């Protein structure tokens, strides 16, 4: 399973890229808005210089025509740009047309496996089920990844990649990999937490103490 970073913060992207673990980046309007004063096009173009992999840029139109127009523009910014559209019928129209144009899409805000199946049929490159937000409703979000993985596995024609989104903890990363996700997109903090373990810290401390005390 590949690891993407879910942020528009260039410092976080630079840092995570230096760890050698990053295969791509996802953004959304909220994440872009969080970077006060940053221009959308410049941010996406800058990210593309830091990470050599898919960079998702999200449309804000509600109608298919508008999404297609935005998507065609984003695709000119960099060959690695993936156009994000919502899991709606208008989103499907955009996926279908953009795929015919040779433009890859990421169908976001997916909350049931039927949305994932239809997105794949329309030609989505990536489907993004939102695990954490499903958990918030009291339903186990990881079940969504399992269902989509099983449905996609049973159909040789489906090449759509499952991207586990709305990741809130290292446990979500582990479970996404076990459930069959191709990608997990993670907040920077969760990646940091993933590499933190009290026994790792304790072990380092002990090794250093023994090294200093050697005869
Ligand atoms: C995915 O592409 C989304 O940007 C993201 O994972 C949303 O996560 P949230 O539920 O933490 O906002």
Ordered structural domains, the chain, with CATH: 2-212 (3.20.20.70)
What would the pLDDT profile of 60-90 be if each residue is shown by its tens digit?
999 999 999 999 999 999 999 999 999 999 9
What would the pLDDT profile of 113-141 be if each residue is shown by its tens digit?
999 999 999 999 999 999 999 999 999 99
* Conformation bin of residue 138: beta by default, left when phi > 0, alpha when psi is -120 to 50: left
Top mutation candidate among 24, 166, 176, 188 for ligand 1, by most atoms within 8 Å of CB: 166
What would the pLDDT profile of 171-213 be if each residue is shown by its tens digit?
999 999 999 999 999 999 999 999 999 999 999 999 999 999 9
Cβ of 28 below 6 Å from ligand 1: yes
**pTM summary value:** 0.96
Kindly report the protein residue whose alpha carbon is nearest to atom 9 of ligand 1: 166
3 state SS of 77: coil
Mean pLDDT value across residues 22-35: 97
Cβ of 165 below 6 Å from ligand 1: yes
Mean pLDDT value across residues 39-56: 97
Question: Where are the alpha helices (H) located in 130-212, listed in sequence order?
Answer: 131-136, 142-153, 170-179, 188-194, 198-212
Cβ of 29 below 6 Å from ligand 1: no
Which residue is catalytic, options 84, 93, 189, 196?
84
Query: Both tokens of residue 23?
Result: 């295969």
pLDDT at res. 171? 98
pLDDT at res. 2? 98
Asked if the model's pLDDT at residue 42 lies above 90, the reply is yes
pLDDT at res. 99? 98
Compute the distance between CA of residue 30 and CA of residue 132 in angstroms, rounded to an integer: 16
Per-position b or e across 63-82, b if 16+ CB within 10 A of its CB = ebeebbebbeebbebbebbb
3 state SS of 123: coil
Cβ of 132 below 6 Å from ligand 1: yes
157: number of Cβ within 10 Å: 8
Question: Which of 76, 39, 28 is closest to 185 using CA atoms?
Answer: 28
Sign of the Cα torsion 11, 1, 44, 20 reads: positive
Query: Both tokens of residue 15?
Result: 């840092």
Mean pLDDT value across residues 103-114: 98
pLDDT at res. 92? 98
pLDDT at res. 215? 80
Top mutation candidate among 165, 185, 191 for ligand 1, by most atoms within 8 Å of CB: 165
Compute the distance between CA of residue 129 and CA of residue 180 in angstroms, rounded to an integer: 12
State ipTM. Answer: 0.97
Kindly state the DSSP code that residue 160 receives in the 8-state scheme: P
Cβ of 6 below 6 Å from ligand 1: yes
Question: Which of 159, 165, 15, 22 is closest to 80 using CA atoms?
Answer: 22
Q: Supply the mean pLDDT for the chain.
A: 98
**202 classed as catalytic:** no
Proportion of the chain above pLDDT 70, given as a percent: 100
């Amino acid at each position: 399973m590949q690891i993407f970073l879910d942020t528009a913060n260039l410092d976080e992207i630079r840092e995570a890229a230096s760890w050698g673990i990053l295969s791509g980046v996802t953004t959304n309007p909220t994440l872009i808005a969080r970077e006060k004063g940053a221009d959308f096009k410049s941010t996406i173009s800058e990210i593309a210089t830091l990470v050599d992999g898919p960079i998702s840029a999200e449309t804000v139109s509600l109608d298919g025509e508008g999404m297609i127009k935005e998507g065609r523009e984003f695709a000119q910014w960099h060959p690695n740009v993936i156009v994000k559209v919502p899991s709606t019928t208008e989103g499907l129209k955009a996926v279908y047309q953009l795929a015919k144009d040779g433009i890859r899409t990421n169908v976001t805000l997916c909350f049931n496996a039927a949305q994932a199946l239809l997105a794949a049929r329309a030609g989505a490159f990536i489907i993004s089920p939102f695990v954490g937000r499903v958990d918030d409703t009291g339903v186990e979000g990881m079940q969504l990844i399992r269902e989509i993985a099983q449905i996609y596995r049973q159909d040789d024609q489906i090449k759509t990649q499952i991207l586990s989104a709305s990741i809130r903890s290292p446990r979500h990363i582990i479970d996404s990999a076990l459930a069959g996700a191709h990608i997990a997109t993670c907040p920077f903090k969760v990646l940091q937490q993933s590499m933190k373990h009290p026994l790792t810290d304790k072990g380092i401390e002990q090794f250093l103490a023994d090294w200093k005390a050697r005869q």
